[in-house]
Structure 1
Amino acid sequence: MQFTWKLPRSVSGIARNTLQNYVVDSNEALEFKLVRSAADLENDEVTFKPEMSHQVYGDSESIFGYTGLRVKLYYSAARLATYLSMACDEMVDSQKFEVQPDEVIKPIAEKIPPGYHSNLDTFVAALDKDATFQPFGELKHKFTIDVDGKAKNFEVYMHDISPSGFNEYHERLQTFILWYIDAASYIDTDDNRWRFFLVYEKYLVNGNPQYAIAGYTTVYEYYAYPANTRPRISQMLVLPPFQRMGIGVQLLNTIYNHFTADDRVVDITVEDPSENFLRIRDFVDSKNCLKLPSFKPEKLDAGWSPDMAVEAQKKLKLSKKQTRRVYEILKLHITDRANPNAYKKYRLEVKSRLNVPYRKEDHDMNKLKKMLSPEEFNATTMMITSKEQRLENLENQYNELEEHYCHVLERLASADLS
């Protein structure tokens, strides 16, 4: 592991080598748990790690001044009571080396709500309150997943900002995005246009049901003229202990089922989707579109049609842009890639869409050519992408897109399409 943390220039070569031993990877030092009982505190199997920590500890994702550093950020599985502490094997001798160790607790404490536990005994005592926890809002969906031969039951609840106590709960819940969503930002829950979809595992303890948070999604209902709405999915996070179970698919379908029943909804959009979310969305949308008449194989073979966008918008609330993407995925499925002519025809069709921004650039340049002097126009063209660069960019874009489409098709091939 190469760290970009830099020691002061005044530190000598020998001391510098010694002090490098006190630089730790913050992703490795951190450990998270969703604690259901006191026994989980000693159970390493329920520990999970962050995907990133630069939003708390800086771009280097390193902490100076410690060896054997362990930072514990634990949450009770239902109410999300929080415990934060640190321990280390050794701390740098500040007087000997004239350097100070980095703050460890403070950067996290500034990002999480006040009132967290720093004493393990008080945190353990708080676990008892989880037994009476009830999810906020309205139950929208139930499903069961087989995990290693064991059935796990889940429930999805939807609500706005109104439930008493939810704002405080959400403040604790959204702290997870710091470690799993790049460029994450907390949302303003005072706005009543926010909708929240939370998924919990429901399990039994001595015959009594209890809940463990598994993930959540935030959706903002934008206004659309004249009296409609355009919901935009803002954040979706399935917590690491529950990933790769298909929960994201269930959560997204729950959102779709809720909003497609509303005639006022124009379409459902997504804000800055991650690559992982794109795969979930493309899979769900492709699976749903397969059931529509306009996406039958013979229709796909005939090429893109505005009827596809109309039907997908009306029945599934998909935007035209997303519908076109789904069309390309399903068209790739029926394209015989072993047939050079068929495969070339498909590639050219997709590249033609990808080339639209360049055609717009050409159009704008033609307009400028009429308005500018030859000298001014020549200076402007220096910033324009060359033909060779365009072709290279288009090829790279296409290859990345086809690889993504193939991943979606592989998942569709193993899915229940009934």
Structure 2
Amino acid sequence: MGTKNSSSDLVSESRKRRCIKDPVVDSGVVPDECIKIYLVSSKEEVDSVDISPLQDLDLNQFFEEDDKIYGYTELKITIWVSTISFHAYADISFQKKSDGGKGITDLKFCLQKIFGENLIDNKDDFNQTFSTEIGFVKSVVSNGEVLKQNSHGAHGSKKSVSEGDLSDVEVIRIVDIMSVGTLYSRLVPFVLLLIDGSNPIDITDPCWEIFVIVKKKRDEEVDNHVQLLGLAALYRFFHYPNSSRLRLGQILVLPPYQKKGYCRFLLNALTEFAHSEDLYDLTIEEPLDSIQYIRTCIDIERLLAFEPIKTALNSTVLRLKHENLSKKSESSYFGPPPSVTEEVRKSLKINKKQFLQCWEVLTYISLIEGGGDKYMENYKTVISDRVRADIIGKECGNRKKVIDIETEFDEEMSFVMFNGPGNPVEENEKGQEEQMRELVEERMRVIESIAAKVSNSN
């Protein structure tokens, strides 16, 4: 039999219940919201309000399993990265630490995932690197091979880079393995932060080749200071029986120097290098749209001056002017002859896939120059057939089809799926056609933009 609680016991229990608070759950902080990264070229720029942080960085991937920081209140992390030595310093401030059930994130460990040994703990030591490391880039590239561009490549670069800037800019192939390792290890943070989906390359693999674009700067205190503007990493493959292929795996122009023509300058130099080495071809691994755009502009200018394609191009344009493609039930081939494709690869080192995209632009330019606006419907039909073949496949009639079959088991599971001719559901077909139309329109916009860009530069 139980005993009754006295009134004093009830009051004491009530007070205990009031003292117990609900536990504070730490929802975490998104790194992109509390971390700012600045590129600085002098100690005077550190803490300056006149510079802007890097934009569109994916920092979340370096923090915890769910991409958040835990255990800090009012957390702010400011990171300065030197464009002289590529060291980094992080200034971390917060109100307090508290374990809200998720633990406390080790910030230094996470930042070292990005910056590694480049991360300096002391701000004064970081500031000193602007003077002690001023000759770092110059020492790394001093034994490199300066790439020489022909007159056409240099002319193309001058369209984007001013005469004064161009005279001081060089593209250098780093041939010393120790120099490659020293430089690339300091540039890994930029590779991780600024190149989508990239991982550091294995610099011990001799098939990797590193090219840098640098600018010589006049400095009263330092003789011939060299500023690194960007880099490219290319992999050399063997091509049977006695040639090599070069594939561009990573290319980066540092943010302060972007949109000034340096990427074009660098790509031009790589193209000339492939030609001088008599490589089989030069390709780009999964290029971003911006890189593909610049690359195509460069290749179009070279192709316009390449005599062997003119006859084939004129023949294609003539067909577009005299055939009515809207009345044809099957698509016709309006691409370059195989012999021309091979000649372009041999002479200009442009691979087949890239040349086919360039051919579309070349055809468009030739139509426009010949007053062919009235033939543009034919041209759009050709582009539509090309997009359809790329997306769906050349055999557009082959589709997945489901057929019911008799079975002694569960009737709901009695079907067979196979690839074969058949009509899709009407609703899916409408959606697919709408997507196809949008893709064709987007491709036309790119073609028109490239054509205008090339025309304005000539």
Cα distance in 2 for residues equivalent to 1:73 and 1:385: 59
> Which residue number corresponds to residue 135 of structure 2?
132
Which of the two has higher C-alpha Rg?
A: 2
Q: Whole-Å Cα distance in 1 between the matches of residues 235 and 66 of structure 2?
A: 33
Alignment partners' CA distance in 2, 1:402 and 1:148: 31
Candidates 243, 257, 271, aligned match of 2:272: 257
Q: 2:275 is matched by which residue type in structure 1?
A: T
Q: Determine if contact 2:336/2:359 at 8 Å carries over to the other structure.
A: no
**Are the counterparts in 2 of residues 55 and 179 from structure 1 also a CA contact under 8 Å?**
no
Query: Are the structure 2 counterparts of residues 364 and 183 from structure 1 closer, same or farther at C-alpha, using a change threshold of 3 Å?
Result: same
- 1:51 equivalent among 47, 56, 76: 56
Tell me what 1:94 maps to.
98
Indicate yes or no: 2:442 matched with 1:400.
yes
Alpha-carbon spacing, 1:58–1:180, altered in 2? closer, same or farther (3 Å): farther
Name the Cα RMSD after superposition.
3.7
In structure 1, C-alpha distance between the alignment counterparts of 2:292 and 2:67, rounded to whole Å: 26
Q: d(CA) in 1 for partners of 2:448 and 2:104?
A: 48
1:158 aligns with 2:137: no
Letter of the 1:344 counterpart: E
Give the superposition deviation at 1:400: 1.9
Whether the aligned pair in 1 keeps the contact of 2:399 and 2:420 (CA below 8 Å) is no
CA spacing shift, 1:328–1:224, aligned 2, 3 Å:
same
Q: Is the 8 A contact 1:31 1:49 kept in 2?
A: yes
Query: What's the CA shift for 1:360?
Result: 4.3
Deviation for aligned residue 1:380: 2.3
1:193 aligns with 207
Report the Cα distance in structure 1 between the residues aligned to 2:194 and 2:284, rounded to whole angstroms.
18
Residue 234 of structure 1 pairs with residue 249 of structure 2: yes
Structure 1 range deviating more: 329-338 or 164-173? 329-338
- Is residue 380 of structure 1 aligned with residue 380 of structure 2? no
SS in 2 for 1:205: coil
TM-score, structure 1 as length reference: 0.80
Corresponding residue for residue 311 of structure 1: 343
1:348 matched to 2:381: yes
2:117 is paired with a residue whose SS is coil
Q: What's the offset of the Cα at 1:208?
A: 2.1
1:205 aligned onto 2:238: no
The percentage of aligned residue pairs carrying the same residue is: 18
Deviates more, 1:170-179 or 1:290-299: 290-299
Counterpart code for 2:317 = D
TM-score between both structures, scaled by the size of structure 2:
0.74
Correspondence list, 1:11-410, <5 A: 23=29, 26=32, 29-35=35-41, 37-53=42-58, 54-57=60-63, 63=69, 65-67=72-74, 69-77=76-84, 79-80=85-86, 82-88=87-93, 90-94=94-98, 100-114=103-117, 116-133=119-136, 134=138, 135-136=140-141, 137-141=144-148, 151=165, 153-160=168-175, 162-206=176-220, 208-263=223-278, 265-296=279-310, 298=314, 301-302=317-318, 303-306=334-337, 307-336=339-368, 342-357=375-390, 358-361=392-395, 379-381=417-419, 386=424, 387-410=429-452
Q: CA deviation at 1:147?
A: 7.8
Give the superposition deviation at 1:124: 2.0
Q: Secondary structure at the match of 1:352?
A: helix
Please report how far the alpha carbon of residue 212 of structure 1 lies from its aligned counterpart in structure 2 after TM superposition.
1.7
Gaps of at least 5 residues in structure 1 are 1-10
Unpaired segments ≥5 residues, structure 2: 1-20, 319-333, 407-413
Q: How many Å separate the matches in 1 of 2:354 and 2:445?
A: 17
Instruction: Pick which of 182-191 and 52-61 moved more.
Output: 52-61
Aligned twin of 1:414: 456
Distance 1:73 1:154 in 2: 26
TM-superposed CA distance for 1:241, in Å, is 0.1
Q: How far apart are the structure 2 equivalents of 1:141 and 1:336?
A: 35
Specify the SS of the correspondent of 2:229.
strand
